[in-house]
Amino acid sequence: MSRGAFIVIEGLDRSGKTTQTAALYEQLKEVGKVAKLLKFPDRTTAIGKMIDAYLRSQSDLDDRAIHLLFSANRWELASEIEKDLKEGINILCDRYAFSGIAFSASKGLPYEWCRAPDISLPSPDLVLFLDISPEKAKERGGYGEERYEKEEMQKKVREIFKRIGEEMNVATAGAKWVVIDAGRDCEDVAKDVWAHAEGLIEGTSQPITRLWD
Ligand code: 2DT
């Protein structure tokens, strides 16, 4: 029995992550594949609303408390993700547990502590990491208004993402984490994204694994 593929797109601010996720979704639809688009944080749930208020600096929370809320926001949807995959639906997801670790660890929380609450979440089959240098990000108009959109933070986040990717590929003995140079034209980036995703969307019979189990 074939199941859907679970593809996560991670990336730095101004890397075009949301645009690329949407473009991949459209491409899947064009070739007649069923796909669902997810985005974390999902700001529509009760937990998501707390996260949204925090990101807009409308509320303050302890660093560990907000970290756990981000993780809980994923666990809220974990069984639905599994169910959809088993029904043959491909899932494209804009940010996942990797953002959780990268952003919280860059605030100074211990890396292993940050990873712990996301252990056992459904694992993506592929993570496409859209990488952009802080200089290029600046050229694209700098960062926005939200809490984490500052150059210093983004630099640290980039380093931690690098570590996560390296460890991931060692653990899975394969390129589950693919780095894509997102400092190029949108169309070139989209071509790379498609090249990596294409092989997966015919369906896979591999069982769904769990993150870091
Ligand atoms: P968007 O700009 O993509 O809406 O993200 N974040 C995200 C975390 O700190 N932890 C997480 O687990 C996730 C998923 C990254 C909003 C910000 O939230 C950060 C940027």
The answer for 37, left when phi > 0, alpha when psi is -120 to 50, beta otherwise, is beta
Q: Which atom of ligand 1 is nearest the CA belonging to 94?
A: 3
Mean pLDDT across 201-208: 88
Percent of the chain at pLDDT exceeding 90:
85
What pLDDT, on the 0 to 100 scale, is given for residue 149? 87
| Pocket of ligand 1 contains residue 148 by CB under 6 Å | yes
C-alpha radius of gyration, the chain, whole number: 16
Domain presence at residue 79:
yes
Domain presence at residue 210:
no
- Quote the ligand 1 centre to 1 CA distance (angstroms): 34
Residue 146 phi/psi, 5-degree rounding, is -75, 165
Domain presence at residue 1:
no
Looking at the structure of the chain, the number of domains it has is 1
The pLDDT tens digits of the residues spanning 111-168 come to: 999 999 999 999 999 999 999 998 888 888 877 888 998 889 999 999 999 999 999 9
| Pocket of ligand 1 contains residue 99 by CB under 6 Å | yes
| Pocket of ligand 1 contains residue 40 by CB under 6 Å | yes
From 47, 103, 129, mutation site for ligand 1 pocket: most ligand atoms within 8 A of C-beta: 103
Percent of the chain at pLDDT exceeding 70:
100
Residue nearest to atom 9 of ligand 1 (CA): 103
Instruction: Tell me how far CA of residue 181 lies from CA of 99, 173, 187, in angstroms.
Output: 18, 22, 12
Domain presence at residue 115:
yes
Whether 8 shows a pLDDT value over 90: the answer reads yes
The parent domain of residue 103 ranges over 6-198
ipTM of the complex: 0.99
- Quote the ligand 1 centre to 38 CA distance (angstroms): 13
Whether 83 shows a pLDDT value over 80: the answer reads yes
What pLDDT, on the 0 to 100 scale, is given for residue 202? 83
Whether 1 shows a pLDDT value over 80: the answer reads no
Domain presence at residue 168:
yes
| Pocket of ligand 1 contains residue 95 by CB under 6 Å | yes
* CA atoms of 82 and 90, how far apart (whole Å): 11
Neighbours of 147 (CB within 10 A): 13
Residue nearest to atom 2 of ligand 1 (CA): 13
Please tell me which residue, 134 or 13, carries the higher pLDDT value.
13
Domain presence at residue 205:
no
| Pocket of ligand 1 contains residue 17 by CB under 6 Å | no
Q: State the amino acid at position 179 in one-letter form.
A: V
Q: Which of 85, 87, 158 is nearest to 126 (CA)?
A: 85
Report CA 202 to chain centroid distance, whole Å: 22
The pLDDT tens digits of the residues spanning 32-75 come to: 999 999 999 999 999 999 999 999 999 999 999 999 999 999 99
210 pairs with which residues across the strands?
Answer: 122
Domain presence at residue 103:
yes
Whether 173 shows a pLDDT value over 80: the answer reads no
Whether 15 shows a pLDDT value over 90: the answer reads yes
What token pair was written down for 172?
């899975």
From 95, 115, 160, mutation site for ligand 1 pocket: most ligand atoms within 8 A of C-beta: 95
Looking up residue 30, the CATH number of its domain turns out to be 3.40.50.300
> Edge to edge, what strands does the sheet with 126-131 contain?
35-39, 90-94, 6-11, 126-131, 177-181
Domain presence at residue 20:
yes
Report CA 92 to chain centroid distance, whole Å: 9
| Pocket of ligand 1 contains residue 54 by CB under 6 Å | no
From 70, 99, 119, mutation site for ligand 1 pocket: most ligand atoms within 8 A of C-beta: 99
Residue 204: pLDDT band (50, 70, 90) is confident
